[in-house]
């Protein structure tokens, strides 16, 4: 019998419910249980693919592409999901299917299209029962995958009008199941007022009241706070929420996010969940607490620092590049260096701003804005022999930089920005030229990549064939790349369709670009090979080996 843990949030957004959910999943893995993760997002977009990272954070790409069919005759390809899926995968160590990201857009689209083709003839379509029934159907469908426990995170905060159908669906699900088969964990914010030196629990009390008004009673409260809760503060929250004091859990600010499962374990949270769900832990779990503690220790070591400039278009919020941030940290921890990241707004900086950095990373993106600033950073790294890594759009614009700087093709560009360039070194994929819309039409998901032996990319992977995740519609044009080869431009990888998947510069210490997104597959215990090779190149340059 599958068990369900529902995770809601209150007071304000951005509390880190995804990290809390992933940490709870880790507690269950420590005890030998198989877990699946679901994220319910109340926004009306069908998926996260068309959303600006500055507004919503990173668009995470899954390994699988889901053929979403809301009604007969309507099919949408989905692989782009909420950034929390990256957190899930980095904690639980398994790929999560894009169908596990349930959005209001998907739910309403399904119900409306089914109404249009006649599935509800004679019925008045309403939020209850039709929308809530579709939410429940999607959640229960995932139970067929066979995991012991499914964790369902509800996006947004309790009280948001968009999230009400999801809360109602959860209420109905819980009422239809035995008490020991479901659990609700509420994540709230406990602010610390420095002027009086106290953590204040009143916002949590109000948040629990909003939850009760929705017909939901929490079984545990996780308090996000600057400092750990004292016993008195736990007693106060317990008194006003009706949650046992042992189920009031601190989630304080941490320097290493992967330490949160250990913090939960130290408070007895895992044992409480097991008792609440009437579960029997495995005698010899495959994923142990000791192994996870060793990983966390790796991130806490006192290592020499290296400075990396991350040049991009979406630097206003760090969540825009969360998987890249984590991939750099993973690589740094395993290479025994501390990575200090500085975000450089590609639209507003001077070249001299880059002089003090040990490495430059050119980030993914789309569109015309700030491209000249990104190209300028690549040209600087090329000329000054600074270790450089370009990801997706960053690799494309680095190719433009090589074409302009080395080949002297002064107006070389991507046709995404300049359709009339004399040297279109980056252009649409052939099949993309017939696509009329920009929404949900990119090349997505895990695709095989063949790596050429003897290249720096080969040094990173040490294997001929890998699967990496793609998200693009423009690519590097072979005719121009082959002309640039005479000047040291090296094609080091091709995908299954013979498109260029990566390049490097032979005469540079380390100048590497990849069309794919290796950061999406980086794990705390297994850093992404290109990122690790990038860190190694910086260490060599600084003679830190």
Annotated catalytic residues are: 392, 517, 519
The torsion defined by the Cα of 377, 379, 381 and 385, in degrees rounded to 10, comes to -170
How many whole angstroms separate alpha carbon 502 and alpha carbon 368?
A: 22
E-strand stretches of 180-337:
182-190, 192-193, 198-199, 220-225, 248-252, 305-312
What tokens were used for 447?
């695709």
DSSP-assigned letter for residue 182: E
CA angle at 425 for the pair 399 and 488, rounded to the nearest 5°: 45
Q: Are 136 and 168 in contact (CB under 8 A)?
A: no
How many whole angstroms separate alpha carbon 21 and alpha carbon 33?
A: 15
How many whole angstroms separate alpha carbon 459 and alpha carbon 175?
A: 56
How many whole angstroms separate alpha carbon 44 and alpha carbon 207?
A: 24
How many whole angstroms separate alpha carbon 504 and alpha carbon 531?
A: 14
CA angle at 501 for the pair 417 and 393, rounded to the nearest 5°: 30
How many whole angstroms separate alpha carbon 222 and alpha carbon 228?
A: 11
CA-to-CA dists, residue 452 to 100, 318, 514, angstroms: 35, 34, 13
**Cβ burial, residue 171 (10 Å; 0-12/13-18/19+):** middle
Q: Are 173 and 182 in contact (CB under 8 A)?
A: yes
CA 384 to chain centre: 32
């Amino acid at each position: 019998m599958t068990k369900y843990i529902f995770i809601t949030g209150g007071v304000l957004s951005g509390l880190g419910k995804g990290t809390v959910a992933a940490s709870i999943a880790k507690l269950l893995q420590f005890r030998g249980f198989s877990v699946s993760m679901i994220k319910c997002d109340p926004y009306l977009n069908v998926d996260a693919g068309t959303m600006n990272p500055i507004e919503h954070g990173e668009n995470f790409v899954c390994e699988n592409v889901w053929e979403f069919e809301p009604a007969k005759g309507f099919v949408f390809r989905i692989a782009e999901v909420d950034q929390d899926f990256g957190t899930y995968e980095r904690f639980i160590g398994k790929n999560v299917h894009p169908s596990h990201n349930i959005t209001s857009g998907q739910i309403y689209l399904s119900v409306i299209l089914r109404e249009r083709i006649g599935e509800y003839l004679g019925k008045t379509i309403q939020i209850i029962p039709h929308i809530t029934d579709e939410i429940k159907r999607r959640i229960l469908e995932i139970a067929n995958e066979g995991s012991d426990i499914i964790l369902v995170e509800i996006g947004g905060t309790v009280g948001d009008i968009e999230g009400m159908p999801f809360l109602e669906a959860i209420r109905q699900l819980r009422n239809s199941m035995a008490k020991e088969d479901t659990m609700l964990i509420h994540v709230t914010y406990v602010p610390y007022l420095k002027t009086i030196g106290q953590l204040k629990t009143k916002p949590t009390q109000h948040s629990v009241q909003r939850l009760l008004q929705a017909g939901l009673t929490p079984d545990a409260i996780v308090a996000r706070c600057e400092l750990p809760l004292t016993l008195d503060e736990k007693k106060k929250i317990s008194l006003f929420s009706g949650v046992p004091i042992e189920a009031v859990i601190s989630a304080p600010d941490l320097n290493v996010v992967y330490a949160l499962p250990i913090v939960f374990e130290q408070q007895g949270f895992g044992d409480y969940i097991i008792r609440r769900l009437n579960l029997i832990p495995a005698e010899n779990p495959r994923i142990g607490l000791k192994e996870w503690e060793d990983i966390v220790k790796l991130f806490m070591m006192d290592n020499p620092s290296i400075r990396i400039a991350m040049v991009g278009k979406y630097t206003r919020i760090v969540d825009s590049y969360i998987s890249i941030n984590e991939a750099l940290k993973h690589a740094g921890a395993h290479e025994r260096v501390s990575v200090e990241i500085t975000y450089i707004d590609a639209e507003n900086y001077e070249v001299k701003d880059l002089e003090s950095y040990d490495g430059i990373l050119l980030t993914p993106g789309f569109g015309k804005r700030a491209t000249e600033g990104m190209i300028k950073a690549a040209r600087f790294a090329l000329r000054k022999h600074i270790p450089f890594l370009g990801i997706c759009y960053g690799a494309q614009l680095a190719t433009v930089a090589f074409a302009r700087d080395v080949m002297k093709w002064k107006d070389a560009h991507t046709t995404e920005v300049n359709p009339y360039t004399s040297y279109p070194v980056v252009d649409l994929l052939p099949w993309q030229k017939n696509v009329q819309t920009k929404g949900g039409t990119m090349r997505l998901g895990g695709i095989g990549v063949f790596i050429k032996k003897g290249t720096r990319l080969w040094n990173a992977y040490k294997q001929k064939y890998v699967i990496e995740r793609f998200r693009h519609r423009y690519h590097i044009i072979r005719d121009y790349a082959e002309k640039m080869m005479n000047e040291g431009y090296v094609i080091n990888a091709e995908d299954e369709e013979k498109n260029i998947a990566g390049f490097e510069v032979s005469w540079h210490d380390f100048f590497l670009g990849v069309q794919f997104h290796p950061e999406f597959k980086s794990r705390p215990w297994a850093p992404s090979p290109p990122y690790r090779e990038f860190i190694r190149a910086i260490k060599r340059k600084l003679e830190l080996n």
